[in-house]
Structure 1
Amino acid sequence: MVLGFANRGKRPNAVNRWRARIAARTALRLMSSGATVSVICCGGAVRDTRAEADLLAEALRGMGWLGDIQYDRESVSTWENIANARKLVGDPDMIAICSNGLHAAKARAYLRRQDPRLGGLLVPTDDYRFGGMMLFKPIFAAVGLWKLAAARRVSRGTQSSGV
């Protein structure tokens, strides 16, 4: 599963291209170990008329990915990304959630909450590359920590907004 990022315009933005690279690296690693891989691109048209799923798929194809791609074009939140992607996964042997680190951690927590059986199938992604998105990482870290903490408060029964 590769999770979209709000995208203005008709072409994949830098964050969606970065997330697509993570998905491509992860898919290639899993295929090299003998796995059959299908990439699920997640995200609706949040900031423009084109679905994030289509933008992610365009980026993947532009990187040379020739494998299967499935689409969730309806999601407008991370929770919905996971809920809608679950309908597409079938009966997998493993699941990788591709995004920047803290966003993927939140999505993995959501998957475990929504479907503990599928949550037990999570495998690591190839999301770290030295120097990758270096200028954005402090922003992603601050926002990601805030949203991850909010998601944990919700799971413990205290009220939170902005998850």
Structure 2
Amino acid sequence: MRRVLLIPISLAAAGAVGVLAWAETVHWRTSRQALGPSPAPAGGSEAVVVLGYRDTGPRANFVNRYRVRVGLRSLDPAASESVLVLCGGAVGGEVPEAELMARYARERGYTGPIRLDAESRTTAENIRNAIPLIEDAGRIKIVSHPPHAVVSREYLWELRPDLAARLVRGDDDRIGEAPLLKVAAAVIAARHGRRASR
């Protein structure tokens, strides 16, 4: 009887490992897509764009807190100037996601400049509204979950290829980090189908 029970458990474990490995692969691949062909050398000015997630407030939710932490660690300490650009309107609640994320960034000890897009309600609007906030940056990083961030980078390629040519990787893909979020993001990307990358 015990042997019979072990077979389904083993199959379930193997399936779970397979799903996690698939999600890791999706994140690794998409974190490296739709970047600039020859990024500016490190040390110049940079903008790190953090994409928001539907948030009811009154404080940043788990996903947005995670994304802000990714944005903060993506800042280059060697950059001559760094700005954190937080995107998201009041989609799920009364307070814009960008404002909730800005509060959280300050709570985390970030004292640098922040620019807000507090109006956008979709990923496409995130990028459209962020353009005036990032035009002066020599290097641009767009962070979220990589399957989401790559869609945003592709929007930037369509709208402003001159700015998209400055896109570089953020620190949004670490093996084994936030596995359930990774699986969820990979499933959403697969379900909705990502537009063909450049």
Tell me the TM-score range normalised by the shorter chain.
Answer: 0.7 to 0.9
Q: Does 1:120 align with 2:120?
A: no
Separation of aligned partners in 1, 2:181 and 2:59: 19
SS in 2 for 1:92: coil
Separation of aligned partners in 1, 2:80 and 2:187: 35
Q: Does 1:21 align with 2:69?
A: yes
Q: How many residues align?
A: 150
The letter for the 2-side match of 1:13 is N
Q: Residue 148 of structure 1: CA displacement?
A: 4.7
Query: Can you list the C-alpha shifts for 1:59-92, whole angstroms capped at 9, x where unaligned?
Result: 2111111100001000000000000000212321
Please name the residue that 1:158 is paired with.
Answer: none
CA 141–130 in structure 1, closer or farther in 2 if over 3 Å, else same: same
Q: Does 1:134 align with 2:182?
A: no
Residues 2 and 42 in structure 1, CA contact (< 8 A), matched pair in contact too: yes
Gaps in structure 1 of 5+ consecutive residues: 156-163
- The structure with the largest alpha-carbon Rg is 2
Separation of aligned partners in 2, 1:123 and 1:152: 19
Q: 1:86 aligns with which of 118, 123, 131?
A: 131
The letter for the 2-side match of 1:22 is V
Gaps in structure 2 of 5+ consecutive residues: 1-48
Q: Does 1:33 align with 2:81?
A: no
The letter for the 1-side match of 2:55 is N
Separation of aligned partners in 2, 1:128 and 1:98: 10
Separation of aligned partners in 2, 1:88 and 1:8: 25
Q: TM-score scaled to structure 2, two decimals? A: 0.71
Separation of aligned partners in 1, 2:190 and 2:132: 28
Percentage of matched positions with identical amino acids: 37
Query: Can you list the C-alpha shifts for 1:30-60, whole angstroms capped at 9, x where unaligned?
Result: 1x22331111110000010010101111121
Structure with the higher strand share, 1 or 2: 2
Q: Residue 136 of structure 1: CA displacement?
A: 2.0
SS in 2 for 1:87: helix
Residues 83 and 114 in structure 2, CA contact (< 8 A), matched pair in contact too: yes
Q: TM-score scaled to structure 1, two decimals? A: 0.86
Q: Residue 118 of structure 1: CA displacement?
A: 0.4
Query: Can you list the C-alpha shifts for 1:109-156, whole angstroms capped at 9, x where unaligned?
Result: 11111100000000100012343221222111011233452x349x9x
Separation of aligned partners in 2, 1:51 and 1:148: 27
Q: 2:190 aligns with which of 140, 145, 155?
A: 145
Please name the residue that 2:32 is paired with.
Answer: none
Relative contact order higher in (CA < 8 Å, ≥ 6 apart): 2
**Aligned ranges 1:39-54 → 2 under 5 Å:** 39-54=84-99
